[in-house]
Structure 1
Amino acid sequence: ALLYVGKLIVDQVVLLNHNASSQNDHHYLWQLVAAEFGLALLTDALNRLINLLDSLLGDQFSNHTSIRLMRHAATLDLDQFEDSVFYDKLERARQQTVGRTVLLSQVMSQVQDVISMAFLITGLIAFSPWLILLLLISIIPAFLGESYFNNQNYALTRSQTPERRELDYLRYLGASDETAKEIKLFNLADFVINRFKTLSDKFYADNTKLAIKRSAWGTFFSVLGSIGYYSAYVFILIKTVNGQITVGSLTFLAGSFRQLRSLMEGILTRFAAVSQGAIYLVDFLEFFEIKPKIAVAAKPLPFPNPVKQGFTFEDVGFQYHNSENWANRHLNFTLHPAEKLALVGENGAGKTTLVKLLARLYDPTEGRILLDGIDLKQYKIEDLRFNIGVIFQDYIRYQMTLSQNIAVGNIAEISNSSLIKKAAHESLADVLAEKLPGQYNQWLGRKFNDGVELSGGEWQKVALARAYMKDSQLLILDEPTAALDARAEYE
């Protein structure tokens, strides 16, 4: 529309220069200028609206998909998180939580450009249908090439997933407060950096090879497009010189052909980009196809209160995914109510695995676990885990306040300060709280808000407090005093 109004303006100016003009002719010229001004403002407003929506929806999409990803991950089994193939899928899904809203803006731009293209095609067809055919011949090869290289780029990106995860891990190793001690003590900086450089150089080489090939073919297709454009331009110039069309028509047709070529290239390129984006979204959806293996009973039973007979292991064995070795096998024993049982064994004997079986973080590969004579699988998982208090030896050091660090043991009671203080007292973490500048509101760790770093023993007291946040019928402590001093261990 802008080009056509521009054509009318040029023709009107030529007319006013060569002929005696009336006041009405001048009035018509200024009407055309006003119309072009209005169209320019409308075009700018539409472009700004698209950019605004793209920005706002980008944040919304990233937040929504990240939450959805975390919610689904929370439903999956622990052993699935211990599989490298799972982590590849998770990494690819995480990458799709950012930037995919460009698909929406591209679709909106497509609609806008298709409308503009319809007006331009109408004008060109009225002049010469052959120009449209010439335009298609010059553009379609570029579209096919773009589609081909999009698929090549996706295949390369997908194949690089494990190495990309390793690069992220090496970045963490090379610059983290949690690894700095050993990096310095064992002089590992060069080792980590060299490994990172080897992987990143390989990434660069693979990406460069594809980029050069893509650029070379892109240049060839661009030359084809330029030949098509200038062939049409020469054709239009000849018609103008021969007096078959006006100067205004020359500007309209030349501009229309140039803009139509640009629009069609944009539409085809965006179509290829949307197709590529859809391919990448498959990675996001693929993660949601992973389903938990731990089955939930059709009519789950509530956890018995109180437990009467206890937990019974009947020839229980567990084998990790993709492992030929058994972590546990032929376990037969009963844990009675009010009984204290110590599990003693070598490292790797399967003590922690047994704990995870009790909490149904794993299900036995063979045999079964009974609670009061009923298979553990028949109980409601949430009830089971609420009634089992577990503190693992590799507990998490949350970069949160002391109060929040304790409350994670029973997050529903995060606002119950008296219960939090009671749990801290039972684990001796209350003495620690009194020494901290912010007491229970003090941030722990160095990552946020002027946090305070604790010693290993102090962190273990905080972790122990989590176990006391619930009135659990079964309390499991996996090496709970490993980092405590002798007095604290005795107490």
Structure 2
Amino acid sequence: MILYLFRSFKMIYKIKKSWLFFTIFFRIANGFIPLIELWILQILINKVTMYITGNNDNLIIIVKLIVFQFFIIIVKSSLSNYFNVFDTKMEQMLDYYLGEIIMNKLISVPYYYYEIPSFYNHQYRILNNYGSRFLRPVKNLVEAVQNIISIVSYISFLYFIHWSLIFLGVVVAIPTLVIQYKYGNKKFAFHKDQSGKLREANYIIGLFGSKQSTKEIRLFKLRDKLLQRWKEIVLTNNKKYIRILNKQNRLSVGIDAFSGLLYALALVLIVYVIKIKKLSVGNFVTTIQSLKELQFSVNRISFLVALILESSLYIKDFFEFIDYEIDNKGTINEKIQLSLDNSRSIFSKGISVENLYYKYPLSDTYTLNNISFVIKPKEKVAIVGDNGSGKSTLIKILVGLYQPTQGKIFFSEKEIREIKDDDLRKNMTAIFQDFVKFAYSVKENIAFSDLDNITNEEKIKNVGLISGVDKLVEKLPKGYDTNLGKILPNSIDISGGEWQKIALSRALFKNSNIIILDEPTASLDPKSELSIFNQFMEIVKEKTAIFISHRMASARMADRIIVMKQGEIVEEGSHEYLMKKKGEYYNMYESQASWYQ
């Protein structure tokens, strides 16, 4: 735990060292102020007492002391308000800095992590108010130092009155620390345990706020069902948390009663000591005040220590998330970096898949079983099969999103695990069925696949002409600069088929040696899809192309067709060959023949 706290200090120091220095200085200075206030109060009371009894008629000293007290109040208030703003600015900087770290981590972890529910739970826990939560234990630690200085000041003052007052003021800290630490751990464990449920509650809220899902909620009258589910999760979560708080508060009441009893005993002792030592009224008042503040400071530091330990659990959770090991490719990449300077040539020499197996995390069954095939340079290959046959999983492995459980994939003589991710991404492009609909302009939606050419409007328009996007753009108010979707202001929403053409344009815009289409035209009618594929085949004639389609008429254009069923390749060959064979492909093609008549 100490190691994680040290790392948080180091990170804060790196972001803004001035905040750390000023905060420590401010807290240390604040720790001495109570002793100064006590000293002034004691002198003031004694002077006022003497003035009232007629032993001293110097009113100017009393006024000066009151003005000095007023000055201290103004200074404390000014510093406190200034540092509130200072802390808020630091939290904002942390939100920015940590947000960037988290997003970089999310995009760099192995893609298969997104198949694991515990990964979603972990990111849900750290994504809530991470700036303030990250800063909290550091602030608490510095505040604890301030309270320690105050405690030393009060102890020094009380020691000259009677040593037993120190014991009565400090002993209350022990049960406070135990209770706060115990229930701090319980609350963190509770939040960690409930993160999955709370994610579901947020998911339901998202369903109600989504244009796509709300139509089915209304159509199927799911409102009451989903709302009831949300209520059960939220109310159960709230009830369990309140139960923990009630137990903690009952014990806290007992601690407060114990503290009050000690304070009462201390008052009796103070009266006795003041009488024996014949001390002044100022001594009496400041002794009581010192004892009261000592008890408060001791309780506060016990609370802060427990809070630091509780908050450190979040710090630990955060660093465990960003410390996830990505994979073991780094060492290999360094070894082959120099040999891949001319990486485009590697991706222009075909693909070889040998004895490929894959199973998803937490699964005992293989999604792909002993897959082997070769794709020649510039060959056009269609992969067909029913839903669940493993087509999309195979594609995700080919583009490097998943690592094979067994088997190898070669681009030329290089195995995929030996190729840097940047080289892989640069020389391959893919558009999936669940492609992203970016809430940005048409131009950006197309050019996001090749940021080096994002300002090349001539290339963007040429791609739009090939894919048919130009006809859509003619109807848009700002042409290629029109924002799409419903998120940004002044955006225009478009149909599913038009989004498909945008996604296809994005794939064509990137000048890759290998182009993969994973059913991106599924929303188009069969004839429109056929038209798109005719254009697609024309523009990729000098490239290697792999495409997945449920529609056999599109597959017919390929040089070779791979037929998959239940994670295995069951047939392979040209359209003519497979039709003569009258097997799986023949049955699929015949069942769709009427679509194109």
Q: How far apart, in 1, do the equivalents of 2:509 and 2:423 lie?
A: 15
Structure 1 366/454 Cα, relative in aligned 2: closer, same or farther at 3 Å? same
Stretch moving more, 116-125 or 29-38? 29-38
Cα offset, 1:140, TM superposition: 2.1
Q: In 2, are the aligned partners of 1:135 and 1:229 still within 8 Å (CA)?
A: yes
What's 1:284 paired with? 318
The DSSP-based 3-state class of the residue aligned with 1:446 is coil
Q: In 2, are the aligned partners of 1:391 and 1:464 still within 8 Å (CA)?
A: yes
Unmatched tracts of structure 1, length 5 or more: none
Structure 1 426/373 Cα, relative in aligned 2: closer, same or farther at 3 Å? same
Are 2:391 and 1:358 aligned? no
Match of residue 143, structure 2, among 91, 109, 120: 109
Q: How far apart, in 2, do the equivalents of 1:54 and 1:308 lie?
A: 55
What's 2:233 paired with? 199
Cα offset, 1:88, TM superposition: 1.9
Are 2:297 and 1:263 aligned? yes
What's 1:146 paired with? 180
The percentage of counterpart residues that share the same residue type is 27
Q: In 2, are the aligned partners of 1:443 and 1:450 still within 8 Å (CA)?
A: yes
What's 1:12 paired with? 47
Q: How far apart, in 2, do the equivalents of 1:45 and 1:126 lie?
A: 33
Cα offset, 1:388, TM superposition: 0.8
Cα offset, 1:93, TM superposition: 2.4
What's 1:226 paired with? 260
TM-score by length of 2: 0.78
What's 2:196 paired with? 162
Cα offset, 1:361, TM superposition: 1.1
Q: How far apart, in 2, do the equivalents of 1:280 and 1:308 lie?
A: 48
Are 2:108 and 1:71 aligned? no
Structure 1 6/393 Cα, relative in aligned 2: closer, same or farther at 3 Å? same
Q: How far apart, in 2, do the equivalents of 1:347 and 1:446 lie?
A: 31
What is the alpha-carbon root mean square deviation over aligned residues? Answer: 2.0
Q: In 1, are the aligned partners of 2:344 and 2:513 still within 8 Å (CA)?
A: no
What's 2:502 paired with? 462
Letter in 2 for 1:61: L
Stretch moving more, 133-142 or 294-303? 294-303
Unmatched tracts of structure 2, length 5 or more: 1-35, 533-597
Stretch moving more, 389-398 or 196-205? 196-205
Letter in 2 for 1:348: G
What's 1:41 paired with? 74
Match of residue 63, structure 2, among 30, 44, 47: 30
Cα offset, 1:16, TM superposition: 1.8
Stretch moving more, 66-75 or 41-50? 41-50
Structure 1 308/249 Cα, relative in aligned 2: closer, same or farther at 3 Å? closer
What's 1:451 paired with? 491
Q: How far apart, in 1, do the equivalents of 2:414 and 2:483 lie?
A: 44
Q: How many residues get paired?
A: 489
The DSSP-based 3-state class of the residue aligned with 1:425 is helix
Q: In 2, are the aligned partners of 1:309 and 1:371 still within 8 Å (CA)?
A: yes
Q: How far apart, in 2, do the equivalents of 1:273 and 1:39 lie?
A: 29
Stretch moving more, 148-157 or 234-243? 234-243
TM-score by length of 1: 0.94
The DSSP-based 3-state class of the residue aligned with 1:99 is helix
Letter in 1 for 2:384: V
Q: In 1, are the aligned partners of 2:358 and 2:405 still within 8 Å (CA)?
A: yes
Q: In 2, are the aligned partners of 1:2 and 1:36 still within 8 Å (CA)?
A: yes
Stretch moving more, 345-354 or 444-453? 444-453
Letter in 2 for 1:299: I
Cα offset, 1:359, TM superposition: 0.8
What's 2:413 paired with? 373
Structure 1 243/385 Cα, relative in aligned 2: closer, same or farther at 3 Å? closer
Cα offset, 1:448, TM superposition: 2.0
Q: How far apart, in 1, do the equivalents of 2:412 and 2:273 lie?
A: 96
What's 1:336 paired with? 376
Stretch moving more, 33-42 or 174-183? 33-42
Structure 1 239/307 Cα, relative in aligned 2: closer, same or farther at 3 Å? closer
Task: Report Cα offsets for 1:462-481 as digits up to 9, x if no partner.
Answer: 11111122111111111132
The DSSP-based 3-state class of the residue aligned with 2:228 is helix
Structure 1 207/217 Cα, relative in aligned 2: closer, same or farther at 3 Å? same
Task: Report Cα offsets for 1:189-233 as digits up to 9, x if no partner.
Answer: 112111112222221221121111111111111111111122222
The DSSP-based 3-state class of the residue aligned with 2:132 is coil
Q: How far apart, in 2, do the equivalents of 1:426 and 1:218 lie?
A: 72
Letter in 1 for 2:178: L
Spell out structure 1 runs of 4+ moving beyond 4 A.
Answer: 238-243
Q: How far apart, in 2, do the equivalents of 1:413 and 1:230 lie?
A: 78
